[in-house]
Structure 1
Amino acid sequence: MVQQYTKKMIRQVFIKMLNEHPLNTITVKAIVAECEINRNTFYYYYSDIYAILSEIFQTELQRVIDEYNDTLSWEESFIAAAKFALENRRAIYHVYNSMQREELENYIYNVSGNVMIRYVEKVSDGISASSGDKKLIASFYQCALTQMVLHWIATGMKEDPDVISRRIGQLFDGNIVLSLKRSVGLTDIW
């Protein structure tokens, strides 16, 4: 119980600091001072600051996976996934502008992929599209969503992602199902 509390406290202090300071200015020394623990305790849980960052993104990805259900549209699922970013805009911006940008990009790519793969599987029920085409369709939307989110972060996260996601959903409504139906008539190359 104490171990989980300490580990959670380290993550919370790190996120708080990341919301206040660029990633490259946060030190283990500052974290342990804020947590009122010694360095050995920190190193018991994490090898370095980047290990905390990686764990945070993995935890958030797992949360998205756990919260997904078949009643959600891809837009609602993606908005739910964006919750962490919205609550920690400055932290996300600090990671985006750091040498650890790849961690953020992988997180966004994995969330987008998880949402789109599940959604394509859901809407393909009753359509005998090839598994290769399902993967291709999901991958296409995964890449598009990833780049849109990265662009949103790069431009200061000004637009409301809820509005943008829902608008994209309205503009492209039916395209995934139509693509799946087209797959049925195509020669299978997969």
Structure 2
Amino acid sequence: MAQQYTKKMIRDVFVQMLNEKPFDKITVKNIVNKCKINRKTFYYYYENLYSVLREIFESEIEDVIAQYNETQSWEESFIFAARFSLENKKAIYHVFNSIHREELERYLYTIAGNVMFRYVEDINKNIQASDRDKKIIASFYQSALTNMVLHWIADGMVEKPEIIIRRIGALFDGNISESLKRSKKLP
């Protein structure tokens, strides 16, 4: 129990600091001083700051998987999945502009994939498209959503993402279902 508390404290302090300053300005010393622990304790749990970041993103992905609700639209699921990014815009921006950007990209790609693959499966229950085509359709939307979020971050995260996601949903409403139906007609 104490171990989980210490790890959570380290992660929380790291996110707090990421919301205040760039990734490359944060040190293990900053973290241990703020947590009032020694360096050995930090290194007992984490190899470096990069491993703290990776665990934060992995934990968020696990939460999204656990909280997935089949009654939600893909838009609502994606907005829920992106809640960490929305609640920690400065931290996300700082990671985006660091040498650890690929970890953020992997996180966003995994989140988008989880949402889209599950949504395509749900839509396909009554259609029975091929597994190959389901994968192509979900991958297409996964890549598109990830790229749109990365552009949103690069543009300074000004526009509300909920508005963008809902607009995309309205513009492309029914396309996934129609694509799955077309799959049945293809050789």
State the TM bucket, normalised to the shorter chain. Answer: over 0.9
Which residue identity is paired with 1:82? A
Alignment of 1:154-173 (within 5 A): 154-173=154-173
Alignment of 1:84-163 (within 5 A): 84-163=84-163
Equivalent in the alignment of 2:57: 57
Q: Distance in 2 between matches of 1:170 and 1:18?
A: 34
> Secondary structure in 1 aligned to 2:158?
coil
Which residue identity is paired with 2:46? Y
Q: How many residues align?
A: 187
Gaps of 5+ in 1: none
Equivalent in the alignment of 1:23: 23
Q: Distance in 1 between matches of 2:172 and 2:108?
A: 21
Q: Distance in 2 between matches of 1:67 and 1:153?
A: 25
Equivalent in the alignment of 1:175: 175
Superposition deviation, residue 18 in structure 1? 0.6
Deviation string for 1:79-102 (max 9, x for gaps)? Answer: 001110111000000000000000
Equivalent in the alignment of 2:14: 14
Equivalent in the alignment of 1:79: 79
> Secondary structure in 2 aligned to 1:114?
helix
Superposition deviation, residue 9 in structure 1? 0.5
Q: Distance in 1 between matches of 2:186 and 2:62?
A: 35
Percent of residue pairs identical: 65
Q: Distance in 2 between matches of 1:161 and 1:123?
A: 24
Q: Distance in 2 between matches of 1:128 and 1:28?
A: 52
Superposition deviation, residue 69 in structure 1? 1.2
> Secondary structure in 2 aligned to 1:153?
helix
Gaps of 5+ in 2: none
Which residue identity is paired with 2:152? W
> Secondary structure in 2 aligned to 1:20?
coil
Could you list the structure 1 runs, at least 4 aligned residues long, displaced by more than 2 angstroms after superposition.
none
Q: Distance in 1 between matches of 2:85 and 2:23?
A: 16
Q: Distance in 2 between matches of 1:136 and 1:21?
A: 39
Q: Distance in 2 between matches of 1:63 and 1:152?
A: 23
After TM superposition, the score normalised by the length of structure 2 is 0.99
Q: Distance in 2 between matches of 1:159 and 1:171?
A: 18
> Secondary structure in 1 aligned to 2:75?
helix
After TM superposition, the score normalised by the length of structure 1 is 0.97
Which residue identity is paired with 1:69? N
> Secondary structure in 1 aligned to 2:19?
helix
Which residue identity is paired with 1:68? Y
